[in-house]
Structure 1
């Protein structure tokens, strides 16, 4: 039996509730989740999930119905998600940064029956959705806050107590629920980031998410009970796969970092053996290392990087991973010089996360690695990447509750990404099909390559290349709120951070950066003019998705006067 067949045979025997039961029985006292000073063992986690599953069942949450969750990193998030899986409902975490209008869209489109919200802030933001979505029968609120005078609303504690009593009266019900689940049934869904239009609801099966876990284990084996950090939203496919499904398969001990801004401190405390970061996270780590070096006397810098890496808690990592967007080469090279050989992977929600991966001992810098066992990749004539295999999702949820299959008759999924395969089977991503810029002279330009080169500088937070249907390329640039003030202070520049965008020294540095970047680009790719914006971009202000990707359409609309000025 080959490796792909082995993965398929194993995954076909697994379900999410079945793995939770296995861990509770085989490793009852081992840590499953830690948040702050509290830890739940696998046995305790299953007991909590059992009570919530019986509570949701008592509310009438039926197989195939949708349960929406909006809360941060806390035990209750995992408990609600796993409980929904036990009653064969489809759980979905909504990004915490969604606007009330976006929340209303997700609520209506999903036709959710039950919503689990964290507290008063979420209740307020969900007001429009709760009033306008007749499918929502129950709203469960985790925090102890005043609830509306409406029979749909109930507290988490009340539901937990009710479910715990039912479970105590007849614990065999949980085992029957667990045994009734089939691997190819839906387990969860997630909404895409919506970089180019309305978000789509990606539906995944138990087989999808657990085949991914099995295949990753074959590619990068890890011992059971290894510590890992969860800091990204569980609406993000990478965090959902690593912190829920692979954690169940590997019986990983997950340390929840509720505040992503504290991830560096958590790394130092946990010292994980693997760590996934979107490029922005690795850029910030590289910026922190550079800042630490710059603060030292010049004579002390030699050999200091390994000490700093140890202090950051990164010295135990054997598989540092980057995905979701290209990692700028200068950032990757600097981290490698510090002993952190970040390996890039590639995938999307529709491929259950990682479809190709660079792994320790089998990596090629600048690529996103080779396909996982059992996954096939081919390149179409126009350069678009197609994927086939057990990790390809069931389809997109439709407003009527059906799931629309997106693969062709041969099982191939069109990804929308553009790339190349080399003679060794390593994949290189060059751009998004819908994001390619075509200048007025007909030249095709990949903006992410240019933007990545600009973002490698510690002054730059984000950059957007502009040039579609225009005679030449320009760029909008924002300064990095964290590293730009340090850069300025090291050069004796004082004053408010908001004034840095117009400071002559900053402009001179950015002029030099653009000249340097242009020297690495073909003539059609070079930036002729740029504008530094006075404020940063974030998911909260709308220019970025919750996964920190550019919302190009929104940026173009919002900053159209600035863009027009670049072409005056």
Structure 2
């Protein structure tokens, strides 16, 4: 048995046990950094730290507090909060109490929040602030199982008329109760941890989905213990890393990142405020971070817009550097695959050196100057955007997984990463491609099933453990996986041709620096069309230079000049497509797609049916007069 196999197969039954091991091994080492805004509200944040020992004191206090509230093993504790250090401490506290954590995005409305709390039978809700408390209070009559709401930021979160006694308490109150309980029962938390079984429910994550009610995915403790060991076994992270964690921790991807960190013991800087990312990067100086493709697309568009605003010469240099980066990345990756050395011809290397001095080095500095790798997941990154960042020295390692597979099933392996693929399976994970191209997965990361939905579970999980992912993919001879589309998103034109919209959408994002989101449509139609949402900052910057200064976003996208601009990029896209894939017509949307309008999931995945429903009039308009087969 190899060291890797031994490490994974002899794993502890839970991440709670891994946490105890980490605290015992490095109690004084830094575990977490978190920002404290200045009291005046002005100026930079003051970053504070917690050692592993200090984190354990708070985690144990939270765990004991939950035990004191009567929470039993496997009973659900819900978490509704933005990403912050208290989220991690509360999650660990619930796990160490033997409870199971149910996650709720803070953007979730009161109705859906109540559904998740009710369906999961959550006993306690740990809410970020008064706004999250208000959503639970609004639907309290529908939540007979909810005994307590613990509020992290207690300002304004006070008991109201009609609240049962003790229904609302602050996180500080919970921790104080926990410390008092531990004074009388010093072994209580460690006893709970010792009693955790590998198959015991640890996490209940409700998939946001694109239609219908969300389904609760049941993930036992063993899933996370496996993820902690397997992600470290890939060599992706080391004890010397500094991670910048801003992704939503309600998403399964965030849970993998926290589990791996506990196993290896590196520092994590936690701040979920998206508007602070650019400000935080030079302060945190991460060596690795995870993101979703939309973040890299926005960075790419922002750099392009800044170069364009600098005048014709600067923009020309930028476009040249993009071409050099892509060529350099493709050549070096190909050479590494063949020879094990990431080399490039002398002439290309010289051009790359010049471009690095002019463009790439500044881009790396914007990421903090120490970024060794960035991990991208949740949806596909356009390969051409990936090649640009790779050539610029920002190595984006795409990975792949589902909530149903504990998020991380594949990841690109360090230096041997291949842009356009999601890498190789984690040690211990099996993969096969079905006859229709669907990716099937089996291994220790696979869910137990959907909560209280045996029929839905049977639709995707076979009796021998194989999970039907719903994604279409291809495996290379040496085990690299490429995702081509969602099985249910493959569209068939009325002419009988299959089209993968996500692939076309990704190509367009690499071509057009103004696009934010694009939806290719064509199922049962005789040609393809597209709904295109533009990036507000990029297109308004262009508009100011082309006689449309002062116009609103809606006015700019409605202007004929803007349509002519985007048409040139659509024509470029079509030049590289098969005839039946080409986008014959398009419409610019009056606003960008977002989570608030229900166009995107909280992890920024496109909700295709929702967008097509809302903008059906634009789609119908593009097919008026067309003869449908």
Same fold (TM over 0.5): yes
Cα distance between partner residues in 2 of 1:333 and 1:218: 26
Cα distance between partner residues in 2 of 1:563 and 1:54: 56
Aligned to 2:600: 544
Cα distance between partner residues in 2 of 1:223 and 1:550: 33
Given that 2:599 and 2:608 are in contact with CA atoms closer than 8 Å, whether structure 1 keeps it comes out as yes
Q: Does residue 393 of structure 2 align to residue 339 of structure 1? A: yes
Aligned to 1:117: 127
**Match among 133, 137, 144 for residue 134 of structure 1:** 144
Q: TM-score, normalised by structure 1?
A: 0.94
**Match among 557, 575, 578 for residue 519 of structure 1:** 575
> What SS is found at the alignment partner of 1:126?
helix
- Per-residue CA deviation, residues 265-306 of structure 1 (Å, 9 max, x unaligned), is 222222222221111011112223334444557378752223
Q: Does residue 225 of structure 2 align to residue 210 of structure 1? A: yes
Correspondence 1:554-565 to 2 at 5 A: 554-565=610-621
Q: Does residue 473 of structure 2 align to residue 426 of structure 1? A: no
Given that 1:72 and 1:258 are in contact with CA atoms closer than 8 Å, whether structure 2 keeps it comes out as yes
Deviation at 1:128, TM superposition (A): 4.2
Deviation at 1:437, TM superposition (A): 1.1
User: Where in structure 1 are there 5+ consecutive unaligned residues?
Assistant: none
Aligned to 2:200: 185
Cα distance between partner residues in 2 of 1:108 and 1:267: 39
Aligned to 1:220: 235
Aligned to 2:259: 245
Aligned to 2:402: 348
- Of stretches 247-256 and 286-295 in structure 1, the one that deviates more from structure 2 is 286-295
- Per-residue CA deviation, residues 46-98 of structure 1 (Å, 9 max, x unaligned), is 11111111111111111111111111122321122111111211102211221
Correspondence 1:372-411 to 2 at 5 A: 372-398=426-452, 407-411=461-465
- Per-residue CA deviation, residues 316-343 of structure 1 (Å, 9 max, x unaligned), is 2222221111111221122123222322
Cα distance between partner residues in 1 of 2:198 and 2:576: 49
> How has the CA–CA distance of structure 1 residues 464 and 221 changed in structure 2, closer, same or farther, with 3 Å as cutoff?
closer
Q: Does residue 494 of structure 2 align to residue 480 of structure 1? A: no
Cα distance between partner residues in 1 of 2:403 and 2:287: 24
Q: Does residue 72 of structure 2 align to residue 62 of structure 1? A: yes
- Of stretches 427-436 and 552-561 in structure 1, the one that deviates more from structure 2 is 552-561
Q: Does residue 248 of structure 2 align to residue 233 of structure 1? A: yes
Deviation at 1:416, TM superposition (A): 0.4
Q: Does residue 517 of structure 2 align to residue 507 of structure 1? A: no
Aligned to 2:325: none
**Match among 514, 517, 527 for residue 459 of structure 1:** 514
> How has the CA–CA distance of structure 1 residues 339 and 491 changed in structure 2, closer, same or farther, with 3 Å as cutoff?
farther
> What SS is found at the alignment partner of 2:413?
coil
> What SS is found at the alignment partner of 1:361?
helix
Q: Does residue 270 of structure 2 align to residue 256 of structure 1? A: yes
Cα distance between partner residues in 2 of 1:514 and 1:370: 34
Aligned to 2:342: none
Cα distance between partner residues in 1 of 2:595 and 2:419: 30
Aligned to 2:180: 165
- Of stretches 230-239 and 27-36 in structure 1, the one that deviates more from structure 2 is 27-36
Deviation at 1:9, TM superposition (A): 2.4
> How has the CA–CA distance of structure 1 residues 374 and 165 changed in structure 2, closer, same or farther, with 3 Å as cutoff?
same
Given that 1:89 and 1:187 are in contact with CA atoms closer than 8 Å, whether structure 2 keeps it comes out as yes
- Of stretches 84-93 and 161-170 in structure 1, the one that deviates more from structure 2 is 161-170
CA-based RMSD: 2.2
Q: Does residue 302 of structure 2 align to residue 288 of structure 1? A: yes
> How has the CA–CA distance of structure 1 residues 341 and 224 changed in structure 2, closer, same or farther, with 3 Å as cutoff?
closer
> How has the CA–CA distance of structure 1 residues 310 and 447 changed in structure 2, closer, same or farther, with 3 Å as cutoff?
closer
Cα distance between partner residues in 1 of 2:605 and 2:596: 13
Aligned to 1:471: 526
Aligned to 1:306: 360
Q: Does residue 24 of structure 2 align to residue 15 of structure 1? A: no
Cα distance between partner residues in 2 of 1:290 and 1:561: 33
Cα distance between partner residues in 1 of 2:5 and 2:205: 28
Cα distance between partner residues in 2 of 1:206 and 1:325: 26
- Of stretches 332-341 and 61-70 in structure 1, the one that deviates more from structure 2 is 332-341
Q: How many residues align?
A: 565
> How has the CA–CA distance of structure 1 residues 480 and 21 changed in structure 2, closer, same or farther, with 3 Å as cutoff?
same
Given that 1:500 and 1:506 are in contact with CA atoms closer than 8 Å, whether structure 2 keeps it comes out as yes
- Per-residue CA deviation, residues 546-565 of structure 1 (Å, 9 max, x unaligned), is 01111122212212212211
Cα distance between partner residues in 1 of 2:137 and 2:579: 52
- Of stretches 333-342 and 253-262 in structure 1, the one that deviates more from structure 2 is 333-342
> What SS is found at the alignment partner of 2:415?
coil
> How has the CA–CA distance of structure 1 residues 3 and 375 changed in structure 2, closer, same or farther, with 3 Å as cutoff?
farther
User: Where in structure 2 are there 5+ consecutive unaligned residues?
Assistant: 36-46, 319-354, 625-629
- Per-residue CA deviation, residues 521-555 of structure 1 (Å, 9 max, x unaligned), is 11221111111011111111111110111112221
Cα distance between partner residues in 1 of 2:365 and 2:469: 40
Q: TM-score, normalised by structure 2?
A: 0.85
